[in-house]
Structure 1
Amino acid sequence: MIFKPTRLPEVVLIEPKVIGDERGFFMETWEARKFADAGIDASFVQDNHSRSSRWVLRGLHYQLRHAQGKLVRITEGEVFDVAVDVRRSSPTFGQWVGDYLSADNRRMMWIPPGFAHGFVALSERVEFLYKCTDFYDPASERTLLWNDPRVKVEWPIAQGIQPIVSAKDRGGTPLDTAECYP
C-alpha cells in the first residue's frame, strides 16, 4: 500500500496494491500493521455501507463526544470525498481537502477524528463503504453546512445542477457558529 498525506497531513490518501489477472483482482483494504507503520493506529468498531445516485451530496458530518475516524472507499461508481478540519486549536482549522475515489482507482481515504466528512456522488450509482473507530451516536452528531462560504469546498458539481441534499444537511451549521473540537 502507498500512503500519501494530503495538504491536511492527518488526512491520508491510500492506494492499495491491486493484484489482477483475467479472473479479476485481489487487494488488501485493511491491515493493522501496515496502517500503524504509516501512522494510522486505528481500531474499528463499526462498518457502514451507503448507496447514492448521481449528485447526491452527503455531509459534512462529525460527532463531538464519540469522535469517529473513518476509512472510506468506493466499490461502485465515483465520488468526490471531502474532509474539513473542525479542531479549533489546529493550524489548519476550517481548511478542507478533497479527492476523487472510485471503484476504478480503488483509492481509500483516512479521515481521522476531528474532521467533518462528506461526499458528492459523481456517477449514476455509488456504493460507499466506511469503517469507523467509534460507534454512531445521534446525540453527538453535528453537521457542518456543506456550502459554508468560509470553508469554500470546491464541489465538482456541473453548472446548473443542484445537488440532492437531505433536510438535515441543508440545515447544517456554518463553521463560525458550529460546535467544534477544542
Structure 2
Amino acid sequence: MNIVECTIPGPLIIEPKVFGDERGFFMESWNAGLFAKAGLDLNFVQDNHSRSRKGVLRGMHFQNPAPQGKLVRVVNGAVFDVAVDLRHSSPNFGKWVGVELSAANKRMFWVPEGFAHGFLTLEDDTDFLYKCTSTYAPQHEHSLAWDDPDVGIDWPLEGMDIQISAKDKVGTSLANVEGFA
C-alpha cells in the first residue's frame, strides 16, 4: 500500500494495492499487521455503512469525550471527504484537508482522533464505509458548522442541491467548539 501524508499532520490518504484482471479486482481494505508496520497500529471496534444520494452533506461530526479515529472508504459512488483539526495544541487548529474518495480510485482516508469529519456525496447511491476506534456515543457527539467561514472548507457545491440534516444545519462555530487538548 502507498500512504500519502496530507498538508495537516495526522490524516492520511491510503492507496491500497489493487490486483485486477478481466474478472474484476481484489484488494485488502484492512490488514492489522501491514497497517501497524506503516505506523497505524489501530484497534477498530465498530464498522459503519451509509448510503446517500448525490448532494447529501454529512458532518462535520466528532465525539468529545470518547473521540473516534475513522478509516473511511467508498465502495460505490464518490464523495468529497473532509477532516478539520480540532486539537487546540496543534498549529493547524481549524485547518482542513479534503480528498475525493470513490469506488473507482479505491482510496481510503485515515481521520485520527481530534478531528471533525464529514463528506459530500458526488454521485447517487454512494456507499460509504468506515471503521471506528471507539463506539458511537450520542451523548458525546458534536457537530462543527459545515460552512463556518473561519474554517473555510471549499466544498465542491457547484450545481449541487445539497441536503443536510437538521442536526448538521445547526453545527457549532469553530470559535465556540469544545475541541481537544
Tell me which residue corresponds to 1:21. Answer: 21
The 3-state SS of whatever aligns with 1:35 is helix
Q: How does 1:2-151 map to 2 (within 5 A)?
A: 2-151=2-151
Question: For the residues of structure 1 that align with 2:6 and 2:93, how far apart are their CA atoms?
Answer: 15
Structure 2: runs of 5+ lacking an equivalent: none
Question: For the residues of structure 2 that align with 1:81 and 1:66, how far apart are their CA atoms?
Answer: 22
The 3-state SS of whatever aligns with 2:72 is strand
Count of residue correspondences: 181
Identity among equivalent positions (%) equals: 55
The 3-state SS of whatever aligns with 2:167 is helix
Question: For the residues of structure 2 that align with 1:83 and 1:73, how far apart are their CA atoms?
Answer: 14
Q: Does 1:176 align with 2:175?
A: yes
Cα shift at 1:9: 2.0
The farther-off stretch of 7-16 and 161-170 is: 161-170
Taking structure 1 as the reference length, the TM-score comes to 0.97
Structure 1: runs of 5+ lacking an equivalent: none
**What amino acid sits opposite 1:53 in the alignment?**
R
Question: For the residues of structure 1 that align with 2:100 and 2:85, how far apart are their CA atoms?
Answer: 18
Taking structure 2 as the reference length, the TM-score comes to 0.98
The 3-state SS of whatever aligns with 1:48 is strand
Cα shift at 1:157: 1.0
**What amino acid sits opposite 1:36 in the alignment?**
A
Deviation above 6 Å: which 4+ runs of structure 1?
none
Question: For the residues of structure 2 that align with 1:37 and 1:6, how far apart are their CA atoms?
Answer: 19
Cα shift at 1:179: 1.1
The 3-state SS of whatever aligns with 2:168 is helix
The 3-state SS of whatever aligns with 1:179 is coil
**What amino acid sits opposite 2:136 in the alignment?**
Y
**What amino acid sits opposite 2:166 in the alignment?**
A
